[in-house]
Every structure is written in C-alpha cells, then in structure tokens.
C-alpha cells in the first residue's frame, strides 16, 4: 500500500515545482543520510486584517525569501500558507530559522499597522531524519499534492 501512495503522490507532484523540489530533497536526504527540514506557516489569520490580503501575503513572501539562504526555497501554498524547504538543515537549525522568519513576518505585519503578534503563530515543522514532529515530510508531501490535484 505504501508504494501505491508514493506513486500517487509522485504522479501529482509534477503540478507544483515546490512540491517536486521537496520530494527531490527528501529522496536526496534519504539516499545520502543528510538533513532536510520543512516549515509551514499558516497565514489564514490575514483574513482578519482590513487590507489587500494579496498585497500583504506578497510582501511577507518576498521578505521571507530575502531572509533565507540561497539554497532554501520559499513558496506560497494555496492562498494561506507559506512553506520553506531547508536543505541540509537539522531540526535545531530549522527551529532557529523559524524564530528568524517569525520576526520577519512580524515586521511585515507591523508595517501594515496590525495588532497581530506572530509569537502565537508557530510553524508546523518536519525534519528528516529527525521525526520528532507530529507530521513527517512525506505527510506534508501528501497534503501538498492534494492541494494541486
């Protein structure tokens, strides 16, 4: 049954370059026994802000992209999630990156004069080979691929 799920996930990955890159990096991490981490921020709280949500989402996405390393990948998933792929990054490194990204998101929110504080918006996190989170990277791939079918 696992192979069928992997095949269906792989078949639907072609519709999203980001999801495909996550899949490739996970396979690379498994093959070479190196780290990879994934952060997913839920931005659904932006709907409560009285402004052009697309403008704020784009500003947050651009600011996050500038705050990460060149090998990292940032993508807007659906309309309310930002995902970060952190190759060669263990869970502790991802936790450090998540604090940095949270401060970047907070600065964007402050520039739009919102009263929202990101301290309460923690990302979902998954790392390979460390599986301490609630979801694995493979679980996220399955979720992401469902959004692009």
- Domain that includes residue 140, residue range: 2-147
- CATH code, domain carrying 131: 3.30.70.270
pLDDT tens-place string over residues 115-135? 777 665 678 899 998 766 667
Provide the domain count of the chain: 1
Whether the predicted model's global pTM rises above the 0.85 cut: no
More confident residue, 18 or 116: 18
Provide mean pLDDT across the span 19-48. 90
How many angstroms separate the Cα of 89 from the Cα of each of 28, 131, 142?
A: 13, 13, 21
Q: Angle at the Cα of 135 (from 133 to 139), degrees rounded to 5?
A: 155
Residue 141: phi and psi, rounded to 5, are -60, -45
Asked if the model's pLDDT at residue 146 lies above 80, the reply is no
Examine the pLDDT at 14 and tell me if it is beyond 60.
Answer: no
The pLDDT of residue 72 is above 50: yes
């Amino acid at each position: 049954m696992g192979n069928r799920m992997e095949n269906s996930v792989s078949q639907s990955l072609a519709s999203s370059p980001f999801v495909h890159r996550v899949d490739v990096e996970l396979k690379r991490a498994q093959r070479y026994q190196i780290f990879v981490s994934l952060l997913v921020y839920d931005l659904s709280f932006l709907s409560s802000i009285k402004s052009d949500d697309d403008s704020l989402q784009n500003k947050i996405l651009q600011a996050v992209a500038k705050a990460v390393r060149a090998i990292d990948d940032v993508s807007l998933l659906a309309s309310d999630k930002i995902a970060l792929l952190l190759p060669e990054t263990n869970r502790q490194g991802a936790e450090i990156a998540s604090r940095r990204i949270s401060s970047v998101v907070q600065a964007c929110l402050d520039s739009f004069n919102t009263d929202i504080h990101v301290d309460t918006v923690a990302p979902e996190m998954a790392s390979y080979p460390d599986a301490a989170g609630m979801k694995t990277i493979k679980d996220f791939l399955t979720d992401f691929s469902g959004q692009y079918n």
